[in-house]
Amino acid sequence: MSEILLENTLTNRKEPFAPLHSGEVRMYTCGPTVYDYAHIGNYRTFVFQDILRRFLHSRGYRINQVMNLTDVDDRIIQNAADRGISIFDYTSKYIAAFKEDMNALSLEPPEHLVRATDHIEDMVKLIEQLEAKGLTYRSDGSIYYRISKFPKYGKLSKVDMSGIQAGARVDVDRYEKADARDFALWKAPKPGEFFWETRIGPGRPGWHIECSAMAMKYLGDTLDIHTGGIDLAFPHHENEIAQSEAATGHPFVRFWLHAEHLIIDGEKMSKSLGNFFTLRDLLQKGHKPSTIRYLLASVPYRRQLNFTGDSVKQAASSVERLRNFATRLKDGKFPSGSNPAMTARIQKAEADFESGLADDLNTAVALAAVFDLVRDVNTAIDRGEFRQQDSAPVLATIKKFDAIFAVVEDNDESRLRTLGFKHSRPEMSAQEIESLITDRQQARNHRDFKRADEIRKELENRGILLEDTRDGGVRWKKK
């Protein structure tokens, strides 16, 4: 198997990857700030890290992944106060929604999906360590990190430190780009604002400290991989490095992997441009979860992804093509025996798939290997060169692909229903409806009430209600 190469933002080079602790990959992913539904740009990063963990798992590694849920920040405190509810209640709704979205997109749950507010004590301890080392100062009850005390500041983002003003601070949770300043580790409460009473005083943690504290609590001082969107490299990840390495004296992260932006029709996604989509917005428009997952996964993570109407259509038809192919092999009757050429063809597809992913997760190359195989097998079938015993090995290969891409097995319907989208499939024709009603009538005649009930439910799920009439017939209407 090919050596795994990952492009490391720290060095700007592709480097051979092997975990520090034999057999186990320890990785950290910056999770969502749960003040609203996550948008499709967030999910690009989460799909990338899911492909990464599935690929590493396919190589036999155990995965130990932490993802944080930022459930306290300026916006959350403000929104919860406006609604007169606790920040816990406010964020719980969006945490539940995030988990539902993850499931819809077939994202494997991280081993630790953890709330920042459950780790206040860990953050306080880390801040105390930094204070003891003289890296911090206090101002109006808040505690700041003095970045001039950390000579390696800027090593990840290569930010230019020449214009840094000593003592210039940033207080808000939303950061300007390319403006390195002392950042808040601990924020004193504003009047009336929610806070924790702690050994370092009343207040709440800054955003950066939560990732350092939670990553090291579960994964140790040095992580194998840290992932996130490219917009987090500076200042967020730079600050994570400054906090963690100053506290422990050890390297914090071996491999930094950053996903590029997702843009919509060539433009930056923004609410003001009206091109801002949550996952639910796209499902509401009738797109399937598998289409969105495929599209987000299909462009290698270090390349910008341009999300367009055409790219969505193409993704949908690619998934359809794979599913039809799997069905053709499962249900097809082929001449008996096997074709030795097919074994070699399968091996090549698997090797190409594997080496594509090993090359810094080049999903485009991996998918091309899949579709080349589909094309060649279809051609072999059409020419009568495909034999019955070739079918199982090709299906086994498709299953291996799907262990990473997770789009061939069709869960779309049930996932859409879980999210409350009922009429996701195209409307049924009157003929289809009548035919199902006849089936149901026959099931009843045979006293198979279970089957009859299933058919009634299936119709209901597709928006068709049945009414039994007095004369023993059935009327139907659309909901």
Q: For binding to Zn ion (CB under 5 A), which residues are involved?
A: 30, 211
The Cα–Cα gap between 163 and 49 comes to 35
- For Zn ion, the closer of residues 226 and 440 by Cβ is 226
Chain centre to alpha carbon of residue 204: 28
Q: Minimum distance between the CB of residue 86 and Zn ion, rounded to whole angstroms? A: 24
Q: Minimum distance between the CB of residue 236 and Zn ion, rounded to whole angstroms? A: 6
- For Zn ion, the closer of residues 211 and 455 by Cβ is 211
Q: What distance separates the 2 farthest-apart alpha carbons in the chain? A: 88
Q: Minimum distance between the CB of residue 107 and Zn ion, rounded to whole angstroms? A: 17
Strands 142-145 and 182-187 turn out to be antiparallel
- For Zn ion, the closer of residues 155 and 387 by Cβ is 155
- For Zn ion, the closer of residues 257 and 436 by Cβ is 257
Q: Phi and psi dihedrals of 161, rounded to 5? A: -90, 0
Which is nearest to 112 in space by CA: 251, 19, 223? 223
SS3 278: strand
What is 39-108 written as a DSSP string? BHHHHHHHHHHHHHHHHHHHTT-EEEEEEEEB--SHHHHHHHHHHTS-HHHHHHHHHHHHHHHHHHTTPP
Q: How many CA atoms lie within 13 A of 40 on its CB side?
A: 30
Q: Minimum distance between the CB of residue 25 and Zn ion, rounded to whole angstroms? A: 18
| Both structure tokens of 111 | 């081993």
- For Zn ion, the closer of residues 114 and 211 by Cβ is 211
- For Zn ion, the closer of residues 70 and 363 by Cβ is 70
According to DSSP, the residues that pair with 179 across neighbouring strands are none
Which is nearest to 212 in space by CA: 440, 28, 433? 28
Q: DSSP class of residue 190?
A: P
- For Zn ion, the closer of residues 30 and 381 by Cβ is 30
Burial pattern 357-393, b for ≥16 Cβ within 10 A else e, equals bbbbbbbebbbebbeebbebbbebbeeeebbeebbeb
- For Zn ion, the closer of residues 50 and 412 by Cβ is 50
Q: Minimum distance between the CB of residue 328 and Zn ion, rounded to whole angstroms? A: 45
Q: Minimum distance between the CB of residue 114 and Zn ion, rounded to whole angstroms? A: 12
SS3 152: coil
Q: Minimum distance between the CB of residue 87 and Zn ion, rounded to whole angstroms? A: 19
Q: Minimum distance between the CB of residue 140 and Zn ion, rounded to whole angstroms? A: 25
